[in-house]
Amino acid sequence: MNRSFSYEQRVGIDAIAVHVPRLYVDLVGEWATKRAAELGEPSVEALIGKVQKGVGVVEMAIPDAHEDSATLAAMAAVKVVLQAGIDPREIGTIAVGTETTVDQSKSIAAYVLGMLERRFGIDLRESGAPQFQFACIGATYALESTVNMFRARENTKPYGLVIATDVSRYPLLSPGEYTQGAGAVAMLISENPRLCTLDPRVAGTITRDERDFFRPNGMSTAVVDGKYSIDVYLDCMAEATKLFLQRSALEAKRNGADVRGERLDQRVDHLLFHAPFPRMAEYAALRIIGEAWRSNVEQFPFLQPLLEQAKLSGDTQAMQRAFEKSLAASKPFQEFFAARVTPSLTLAKRIGNIYSGSMYLGLASLLESSPDRSRLAGSRVGFFSYGSGASARVFSGVLVAPEKAYKPHILAELCAETAGGSRVALSLADYEHLHRGPLALEGAPASLSQPLPSIRAAAGEFALTRVGAESSRARVDLGYRYYDWIPA
Ligand code: CAA
C-alpha cells in the first residue's frame, strides 16, 4: 500500500473536523409512511426500499431555525482548532466553499472570522477570507487556492483554514427531497501536514457549461434534472479521471517514482467521491473502474462475457448501462467497492447530501469507520470532486499519520441524545415547518424576516440570533444576520 512520489514540498491537510445539525429526519419512519402515498409509491416498504437501498440513505440532517451555512461553518472551525490543539492566532487565511450562502455580498468566511474572534477572544484581522462558489465543487477550489498559497510560500501564518459548508434543500415531495442534508467540514492546511499530503501537479480538471442542477436567485430550493445530473456527473468524472491518470503518470516519470502500475485502482488505494447520495458513488466507481478494467481486459478475463452480453443491447449508451449493471453484480467489483469505497460512505448514509463538504465528509468517514484504521498510514487517497453546472476535479494525496491526526467524533455525535450522542429526531410536522422557513414580509424576500423559533434552543453553539431591521439615517442593517455564541 505504501508507494510515495518523491515531491520536494509537502503541503496538505493537517486536521479535519465535521459539524452537522443535531436535528434529523428518519427516512424509514413517519416520513416514509406519509410520503409513500403522496409520491404514488406502491407501498411504504417500496419507498423505504428505494430510499435505503436504491438511493442509499437512512437519515438526513436538518438545520434548526438558528442554524445556517455560517453557523455550521463556524462550529466545524472551532472543532478543528480544538481537536488539532493549535493556537487559532496561527491561522492566516480562511476560505469557504459553499453554494448556499447566507448573504448575496458578504463572504461567509468573514462571518466565520468574526465568530472565531469572539469565541476565542483573538484578533484575526490580518487574514484573507474569500468565499468560493461553484455548486458542490466550491470547497475543492478553495482547497486548491489555499494549498497553492502554501506551496508558493505566500502564507503569512502556519495554518490556512478551508471550510466546506452547505444546507441542501429540495422541494418537499420531489425526488430530491430524500437527498437533502446539512453540514460543514473544516480542514487546517499546512506544510508537513499530519493527516494528508496532497500530490502536486496531478489534478485533472474538467468544466462544461451545463444546466444539470442550479438555484436561481431568490429561490431557497435547488432545481435539478435528476437523471441528466447523474449523466453529466459521470461524464465529467470520467474525463477528469483520464486527465488525472495522464498527469500522474507524467509526474511519476519525472520524479522516478515507485508506482505499482498505471491503472486507477493501482494508483489509489481509497476512492472518495462527491456523494449526493451513496448510490452515486457506486455509479461513479462502476464508470471509472469499469473503464480501467475494460481497457486492460486481458488482466480481467471475467469481463469478456459481460462485454459480449452488453454488445447485444443496442446503442453505445445502452451498452454502457448494461455493462455497468452486470459489473455491479460481479464479485470482483463488489469486493473492490466494499474495501476501497464503502468506508467513506458511512456518514453520508446518516447525514445526507452536504453539497460542498460531501467528498470531505467521505475522508472523515474513512478515517472514522475504516475496519483497519491502523493500516491507513501511507495509503494513497483519490479525491473525486464534482459540482453541477458543471466541473469535476480529480486529485490525490497520501495519508500521513491518521491515527494521531484524527480524533473520531462524528459517529458518537450521531447517536441519539438519550444514548449519549447529540441527535434529536424531528417529527414530520416540525421538519416541514422548518423546511418552509420564515414567512416573507409583504413584498420582501424571506431573508429579511426574523428566524423562526428553534425546535431545540441553541446551547453551546453559534446561533443566528436576529436579522437586522433598521434602515434609518442613524443605522442601516436591514437583513443583516447577527450571530452569537450561546453558552451551554
Ligand atoms: N428497492 C430497492 N431499490 C429500488 C427500489 C426498491 N423498492 N425502488 C427503486 N429502487 C432503485 C432503482 O432501481 C434505482 O436504482 P438503479 O439506478 O440501480 O436502477 C434507484 O433505486 C433510484 O430509483 P429512481 O431512479 O426511480 O429514483 P428517483 O426517481 O427517486 O431519482 C435521483 C433519484 C435522480 C437521484 C433523485 O433523488 C434526485 O433528483 N436527486 C437530486 C439530484 C442529484 O443528487 N443528482 C446527482 C448528480 S448531481 C450532483 O452530484 C450535485 C449534487 O450534489 C446535487
Q: How confident is the model at residue 255 (pLDDT cuts 50, 70, 90)?
A: confident
Q: By alpha-carbon position, which residue is closest to atom 9 of ligand 1?
A: 50
In the predicted structure, residue 2 carries a pLDDT above the cut 50:
no
CB 57 near ligand 1, within 6 Å: no
What is the spatial distance between Cα 57 and Cα 308, in angstroms, rounded to a whole number? 34
The SS3 call for residue 217 is: coil
CB 401 near ligand 1, within 6 Å: no
CB 355 near ligand 1, within 6 Å: yes
The total of other beta-carbon atoms located within 10 Å of residue 215's CB is 17
Q: By alpha-carbon position, which residue is closest to atom 13 of ligand 1?
A: 54
Contacts with 331 (C-beta within 8 Å, 6 or more apart), sequence order: none
What is the spatial distance between Cα 231 and Cα 212, in angstroms, rounded to a whole number? 9
Higher-pLDDT residue of 61, 317: 61
Q: At what angle do helices 428-436 and 30-38 cross, to 10 degrees?
A: 70
How confident is the model over 465-482, as pLDDT tens digits?
Answer: 999 999 999 999 999 999
The SS3 call for residue 16 is: strand
CB 53 near ligand 1, within 6 Å: yes
The angle subtended at Cα 255 by Cα 250 and Cα 259, nearest 5°, is 75
CB 228 near ligand 1, within 6 Å: no
Are 106 and 92 spatial neighbours (Cβ–Cβ below 8 Å)?
no
With CA atoms as reference, report the closest residue to 201 among 359, 378, 11, 401: 11
Q: How confident is the model at residue 3 (pLDDT cuts 50, 70, 90)?
A: very low
CB 431 near ligand 1, within 6 Å: no
Candidate from 28, 35, 50, 224 with most ligand 1 atoms within 8 A of CB, to mutate: 50
Q: Where are the domains of the chain?
A: 11-419
CB 242 near ligand 1, within 6 Å: no
What is the spatial distance between Cα 130 and Cα 466, in angstroms, rounded to a whole number? 24
Distances (CA, A) of 296 to 100, 265, 302: 42, 12, 12
What is the spatial distance between Cα 354 and Cα 358, in angstroms, rounded to a whole number? 5
Which pLDDT does position 256 carry in this prediction? 72
With CA atoms as reference, report the closest residue to 387 among 222, 246, 255, 244: 222
Q: Which ligand 1 atom is at minimum distance from the Cα of 386?
A: 50
Question: pTM for the whole thing?
Answer: 0.97
| E strands in 270-324 | 270-273
Burial class (CB in 10 A: 0-12, 13-18, 19+), 121: exposed
Tell me what the mean pLDDT of segment 432-458 comes to: 92
Tell me what the mean pLDDT of segment 13-24 comes to: 98
Q: Calculate how far, in angstroms, residue 42's C-alpha sits from the geometric centre of ligand 1.
A: 17
Q: By alpha-carbon position, which residue is closest to atom 48 of ligand 1?
A: 229
In the predicted structure, residue 12 carries a pLDDT above the cut 90:
yes
Q: Which grid cell sits at 200?
A: 502536486
What is the spatial distance between Cα 198 and Cα 175, in angstroms, rounded to a whole number? 36
Tell me what the mean pLDDT of segment 354-379 comes to: 95
Q: By alpha-carbon position, which residue is closest to atom 4 of ligand 1?
A: 50
Q: Which grid cell sits at 451?
A: 428566524
Q: Which grid cell sits at 268?
A: 489509489
Are 379 and 338 spatial neighbours (Cβ–Cβ below 8 Å)?
no
What is the spatial distance between Cα 277 and Cα 57, in angstroms, rounded to a whole number? 7
Which pLDDT does position 88 carry in this prediction? 98
What is the spatial distance between Cα 104 and Cα 429, in angstroms, rounded to a whole number? 30
Q: By alpha-carbon position, which residue is closest to atom 1 of ligand 1?
A: 49
215-218: long-range contacts, CB 8 A cutoff, minimum separation 24: 215/99, 217/104, 218/445
How confident is the model over 158-181, as pLDDT tens digits?
Answer: 999 999 999 999 999 999 999 999
Burial class (CB in 10 A: 0-12, 13-18, 19+), 312: exposed
Superfamily of segment(s) 11-419: Thiolase/Chalcone synthase (3.40.47.10)
Distances (CA, A) of 9 to 30, 147, 152, 337, 485: 53, 11, 10, 32, 39
The DSSP string of 378-393 is T-EEEEEEEETTTEEE
CB 384 near ligand 1, within 6 Å: no
Q: Calculate how far, in angstroms, residue 176's C-alpha sits from the geometric centre of ligand 1.
A: 9
Which pLDDT does position 4 carry in this prediction? 43
How confident is the model over 90-128, as pLDDT tens digits?
Answer: 999 999 999 999 999 999 999 999 999 999 999 999 999
What is the spatial distance between Cα 199 and Cα 247, in angstroms, rounded to a whole number? 11
How confident is the model over 256-290, as pLDDT tens digits?
Answer: 765 667 899 999 999 999 999 999 999 999 999 99
In the predicted structure, residue 343 carries a pLDDT above the cut 60:
yes
Which pLDDT does position 260 carry in this prediction? 67
What is the spatial distance between Cα 30 and Cα 40, in angstroms, rounded to a whole number? 16
In the predicted structure, residue 1 carries a pLDDT above the cut 80:
no
With CA atoms as reference, report the closest residue to 147 among 101, 77, 203: 203
Q: Calculate how far, in angstroms, residue 54's C-alpha sits from the geometric centre of ligand 1.
A: 6
Q: Calculate how far, in angstroms, residue 277's C-alpha sits from the geometric centre of ligand 1.
A: 8
Q: Which ligand 1 atom is at minimum distance from the Cα of 230?
A: 47
Q: By alpha-carbon position, which residue is closest to atom 30 of ligand 1?
A: 175
Q: How confident is the model at residue 135 (pLDDT cuts 50, 70, 90)?
A: very high
Q: Which ligand 1 atom is at minimum distance from the Cα of 222?
A: 54
